[in-house]
């Protein structure tokens, strides 16, 4: 579904992605973990052409998004929904208008139908009845869920989540994780999640990839990831107090 072919990206002297190659399969939840500044967000920004590689290519299906422009780029981007780190809601629109925005701007659907679909999406993310509130008047967790509703209202094939649980308390974080997992199962979308929260990664990921010094040092299903002997992975697991997958499941059960 999404393929990185020898992607290299540098910001000034800093090498952020170093000859990265990987393929994300349709329908899976691919989680990228790593330390702050490891290049996790940089990698997903390449998937929607907010960044372009210095070397290499990024493919979405049969389309090379890293070289697309104009209408072909718009066509590829229509396959994506993106939840940005800060939700990126337009501050002068209320919650409902934010969710309606992509449909109002990109389709000719009647307004009543657009509002109905927005209401459905808000219900799906557990935010029924807040449509008339302004983004500034709701909590960070609610903003992220509104951002998610906006990302899925166009029924995309692929959803990118940039730090969906950062800055949220553990309870809300777990709710968002469950929501991501629920969306994958209900809508059958391909999900790419960037996070530094290993509990989230191991709970919702089909595969978890550890980005370190510009490369994916481990890319494996959760049970293999947790057993990886790679020192960076071991340190990362130890820092978050995870020894077995059971620890993760217990944290969610709480």
Residues that bind other proteins (CB under 8 A): 11-12, 48-52, 73-74, 77-78, 80, 82, 84-86, 88-91, 101-102, 104-106, 154
In the complex, minimum distance from the CB of residue 136 to other proteins, in angstroms, rounded to a whole number: 12
In the complex, minimum distance from the CB of residue 86 to other proteins, in angstroms, rounded to a whole number: 6
Closest to other proteins by CB, 189 or 218 = 189
Extract the tokens encoding 217: 């040092």
Closest to other proteins by CB, 88 or 134 = 88
In the complex, minimum distance from the CB of residue 13 to other proteins, in angstroms, rounded to a whole number: 8
Closest to other proteins by CB, 86 or 140 = 86
Closest to other proteins by CB, 195 or 228 = 195
Closest to other proteins by CB, 153 or 237 = 153
In the complex, minimum distance from the CB of residue 93 to other proteins, in angstroms, rounded to a whole number: 10
> Do 173 and 166 form a contact (C-beta atoms < 8 A)?
no
Closest to other proteins by CB, 50 or 243 = 50
In the complex, minimum distance from the CB of residue 47 to other proteins, in angstroms, rounded to a whole number: 10
In the complex, minimum distance from the CB of residue 143 to other proteins, in angstroms, rounded to a whole number: 11
Return the biggest CA–CA distance within the chain: 56
């Amino acid at each position: 579904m999404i393929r990185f072919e020898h992607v290299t990206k540098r910001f000034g002297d800093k090498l952020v992605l170093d000859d990265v190659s990987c393929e994300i399969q349709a329908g899976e939840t691919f989680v990228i973990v790593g330390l702050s500044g490891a290049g996790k967000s940089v990698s997903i920004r390449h998937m929607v052409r907010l960044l372009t590689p210095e070397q290499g290519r990024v493919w979405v299906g049969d389309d090379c998004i890293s070289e697309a422009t104009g209408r072909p780029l718009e066509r590829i981007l229509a396959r994506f929904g993106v939840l940005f780190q800060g939700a990126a809601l337009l501050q002068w629109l209320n919650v409902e208008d934010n969710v309606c925005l992509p449909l109002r701007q990109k389709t000719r659907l009647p307004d009543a139908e657009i509002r109905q679909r927005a209401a459905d999406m808000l219900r799906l993310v557990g935010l029924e009845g807040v449509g008339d509130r302004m983004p500034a008047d709701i909590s960070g967790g609610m903003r992220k869920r509104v951002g998610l509703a906006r990302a899925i209202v166009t029924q995309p094939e692929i959803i990118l989540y940039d730090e969906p649980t950062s800055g949220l308390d553990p309870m809300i974080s777990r709710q968002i994780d469950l929501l991501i997992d629920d969306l994958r199962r209900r809508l059958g979308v391909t999900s790419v999640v960037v996070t530094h929260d290993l509990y989230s990664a191991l709970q919702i990921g089909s595969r978890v990839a550890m980005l370190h010094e510009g490369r994916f040092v481990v890319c494996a299903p959760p049970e293999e990831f947790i057993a990886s002997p790679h020192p960076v992975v071991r340190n990362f697991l130890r820092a978050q107090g995870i020894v077995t997958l059971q620890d993760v499941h217990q944290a969610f059960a709480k």
